[in-house]
Structure 1
Amino acid sequence: MRISTLTIFEQSMSSLNRQQGSLMHVSQQIASGRRVVNPSDDPQAASQAVQVSQSLAINSQYAEARVSARNALAQEESILNSVSSAISSARTLIIQASNDPLSDADRASVASELRGIYETVIGQANATDGNGRYLFGGYKDGSEPFVRDASGNVSYVGDTNSREVRVDASRLMPVADNGDAIFRSVHTGAGYLAEADSGNQGSVVFKGPQVVDESDPGYGDAYDIAFSVDAQGVATYSVNGGTAQAYEAGQSIRFGGLSITLDGTPADGDSIQLDRAQNMNTDLFRTFEKALAVLEQPASGDTARAARANTLSNVLREFDNSLDNVLTTRASVGARMNELDVVDSVSDNRSLNYQEKLSGLEDLDYVSAIAEYSLRQIGLQAAQQAFIDIKGMTLFDRI
């Protein structure tokens, strides 16, 4: 069989190119530390590696989202801590102002301090994060959620949604509670409040109400205590228009699972309303305004002093309810921050599993690769030497 010189050269060059290509491929594997340099090296492993890499990237994005969520919750928790401290200070001032020996000037001084706390709470309610977004406006976070009108009344103009962040594939977490739920709501277990009618002319003051029997069939209903005084000055009271009963100053009356203590002298037509706290005033700012109104206004006469005492008693209960609500929200924020720690731990384990799987698909076995590299070097050297030997086998060397 006759083989042309051209064929010999072409086959030799092809062999050299193959050996050089194989050597270069192993060199790339060693340099990159990856077994699969090109998808053609292992199509199945390359496909799985793409999927695992995408899962790893998504997991990393959720981790970044949790950092943002934790920062937002930490800001909210700090503000709620300040608000709860402010409400506690306001309660202390109301208790102080309820002491009968205080003069009107003393109460005015208390009112001045209380107004400072009031302004602080409004400022906290309109707090922003580091990016200028208002924390408690829901998704309307571009402007102040609490605004005051010309009369000084505070109203909420945010929405009732809570901003949420997806912190994991299966968890959409609220990262900022709306102001309506924090500053204008009470806990569902807040109980009852009592409020004297603004038109009362007598001097009846109340203490309570206290819940004594939640199993009573009438528990949960609203009640109205109405007073009647006849021409002889005999006072009676009725509950929700029921049978009139003799009134005695200092007595404690029970109805609907509740107990309330009444003292003082009623006037004909006076009344006191009782209802569940969530059906009464639930606005923290309105509570401040009620307290300031009676403390800044001097009270003269038994009727005015009774109205002030009843208002302060009511305000103290409302502050208690607002404080409970803020503390409940703060506890919820803390629970969410703890949940983020748990999700972080799960995510770290998931990320480690992804990295291990990706390593098994792509990473290089250096021992095998170095052995392969040495083998390819020998193969290339053998091909080069064979080419040199074959190239020397020509008749022209014999002429």
Structure 2
Amino acid sequence: MRISTAQYYATQAAQYQRNYSKTVATANEASSLQRINTAADDPIGAGRLLKLGQQAAILDQYKGNIDTTKSALTVQESTLNSITTALQRAKEIGLAANNGIATDADRKAYASELSQIQQQVLGLMNSKDANGNYLFSGSKTDTAPYSQNADGTYTYNGDQTQINLGIGDGLSVATNTTGWDAFQQTINTARTQTTMTAPAVDDGRVVLTNGIVGTAATYNSKFAAGQPYTVDFISSTQIKITDALGNDVTTEASQNGAISNSNGANQTVSFRGVDLKLSINLKAGDTNPDAVIAGHSFQLAATPDSFTTSRSPGNPSTAVITGSNVTNQAAYNAAFPSGGGAVLKFTSATAFDLYAAPVTADSKPISSGTVAGGNATAAGVTFALGGTPAAGDQFSIQSNNHQTQNVLDTLGQMVTALNTPVDGDPVAKQKFQGAMESALGNIDSASNQIGSAVTSIGARGQSLDDQTTTNQSLSQANSTTQGSIRDSDPAEVMTRLTLQQTMLQASQLAFSKISQLGLFNKI
């Protein structure tokens, strides 16, 4: 077979170019110590590196999320601890004011300090983070969680949404603590009330406080079903309690209804999970205690639902709702919206509709009616109107069943009680003491609720620490695997480079020698 000179030269040039390219590639590999610089170097390895790189990016994102969540939880925990400290001082004030020797002047001074604590707690509840977002508003981070109503109570304006961030494969953690969980679900221990029904005019001889829920399980399982109760004083040493159906349930009261007729004694009567303070106040000339105490009677029941109302800023008229109360319990239980509240809309000066909130284009009224005697009654609730409504007027209505109570309202009630003069009035003082004991119970309940929120933050923090360890292990394994695929063995690559350089030099020398064997070199 004959090989032309041109063909020989082309073959040798192509072979030399291939050897040269391999040598250059190996030299680059020796410089970077990376075996794969492009997908062409190792398609399978490059594919694996792409997947590992994606995993590394996700792990970096998880690390950023964990750092963000830790920072947010630290701020929330610090704020909640500050609120707890403030409530501890509020409790100290309540105990000091209720010690039996404080005067009206002392209580007014305590009330002033307690008002400052209430504003401090409000400010902490409405705290913002470094980005200007409210800490405890749920997903409504641009809305202050708490605002004051016209009647002095406070309303939660946030929601119950938790904002979750992923911290691991299939694992996420809430970055926020809602005001609903930390403050709004505080159990209200003072959710019962007593009303004297006899004598028609209170003679001050018997003071029976509204009571405190001492055993929640018993209250929930027994008290509500039998209310309202009638508490009759048979004598100065015995009471009788009957339920709504007239059944005698006195045996369920402490000491089977036996009481002490010791003048001025502050004693406790426990009944179906409720603890009531009882004081007998005999007057000068009361030589027969049984005769003056027998016949006193009280109604004992759960505190009825109350309502917070507010007019829409865009209302055409200046009409307002001045009061509201349940007038038909059955209709109220059956129809009035719970949870989200309601909206009262007027279609004329006298006609109105009641909707469940929020109202949308598809909403249908749950109750309709006309104004009678300055009152609008819907779904068992009567709203007293101040002024004449106009078509287009809207009022937002939020019901309160008193099962829970935020601590701002508790502090407000304490301030009111402390500012009420009681010096020289034993009956007023006994009622004040009952109010303070109820408030102190609610402060303890609020502190417990906040403590639960802090515990939740701690649990999430522990989860973040555990996942950080897991993610670090995964990241280290990822880096090791990437290195095993991408990185070169320095000894192997230098040996290969030396070999390829030697072969390239040999190729050059061989080409030089063989090229001299042509016919023209013999002429």
Aligned to 1:264: 280
CA RMSD of aligned residues (A): 3.1
1:121 and 2:137 equivalent?
Answer: no
Instruction: Determine which structure has the larger helix proportion and give its number.
Output: 1
**Match of 1:41, SS?**
coil
Q: Which residue of 2 aligns with 1:9?
A: 9
- The 1-side partners of 2:8 and 2:216 are apart by 110
Separation in structure 1 between the aligned mates of residue 36 and residue 65 of structure 2, nearest angstrom:
32
Query: Structure 2 CA distance, aligned partners of 1:291 and 1:10?
Result: 103
Residues 162-214 of structure 1 deviation map (CA, whole Å, 9 limit, x = unaligned): 22212222212111111122111136xx9x54644477944525586644996
Residues in 2 aligned to 1:279 and 1:126: alpha-carbon distance in whole angstroms? 23
Instruction: Mark the runs of 5 or more structure 2 residues left unpaired by the alignment.
Output: 251-256, 282-292, 304-400
Cα deviation code 1:285-311 (max 9, x no counterpart):
110111111112223633322221111
Q: What's the counterpart of residue 207 of structure 2?
A: 204
Conservation of the 8 A alpha-carbon contact between 2:192 and 2:212: no
**Structure with the larger RCO, 1 or 2 (CA within 8 Å, 6+ apart):** 1
What is the match of residue 240 of structure 1? 243
Partner residue of 2:502? 378
Deviation string 1:227-247 (CA, Å, 9 cap, x unpaired) is 4468x9998442535437665
**Alignment partner, residue 334 of structure 1:** 458
- Describe the SS at the equivalent of 2:496: helix
Select 1:296's aligned residue among 399, 419, 432.
419
What residue in structure 1 maps to residue 158 of structure 2? 158
In structure 2, do the counterparts of structure 1 residues 77 and 94 end up closer, same or farther at CA, with 3 Å as the change threshold? same
Whichever residue aligns with residue 343 of structure 1, its letter is: Q
TM-fit CA distance, 1:75: 0.7
Aligned-pair CA distance for 1:72: 0.6
Task: Kindly indicate whether the alpha-carbon contact (under 8 Å) linking 1:138 and 1:160 is maintained by their aligned counterparts in 2.
Answer: yes
Contact kept? 2:277, 2:434, Cα under 8 Å: no
Q: Indicate yes or no: 2:296 matched with 1:280.
A: no
| Letter of the structure 1 residue corresponding to residue 475 of structure 2 | S
Which one is further off, 139-148 or 151-160?
A: 151-160
Per-residue CA distance 1:338-370 (angstroms, 9 max, x = gap): 111000001111111111111121111111111
Q: 1: CA distance between counterparts of 2:516 and 2:488?
A: 41
Corresponding residue for residue 321 of structure 1: 445
Deviations 1:364-390 (Å, cap 9, x if unpaired)?
Answer: 111111110001101111111122223
User: Aligned runs of 1:355-366 on 2, under 5 Å?
Assistant: 355-366=479-490
Shift of 1:5: 2.5
In 2: Cα distance, 1:252 partner to 1:157 partner: 38
The 5 A counterparts of 1:1-399 are 1-186=1-186, 193=190, 195-197=192-194, 201=202, 202=204, 204=207, 210-211=214-215, 218=222, 226-228=230-232, 236-241=239-244, 242-243=247-248, 248-249=260-261, 252-256=268-272, 262-265=278-281, 268-273=296-301, 280-299=403-422, 301-398=425-522
SS in 2 for 1:68: helix
- How has the CA–CA distance of structure 1 residues 347 and 212 changed in structure 2, closer, same or farther, with 3 Å as cutoff? closer
TM-score (ref. length: structure 2): 0.68
Alpha-carbon distance between aligned partners in 1 of 2:411 and 2:275, rounded to the nearest angstrom = 26
Give the deviation of 1:37 after TM superposition: 2.3
Cα 1:222/1:42, change in 2 over 3 Å: farther
Identity %: 23
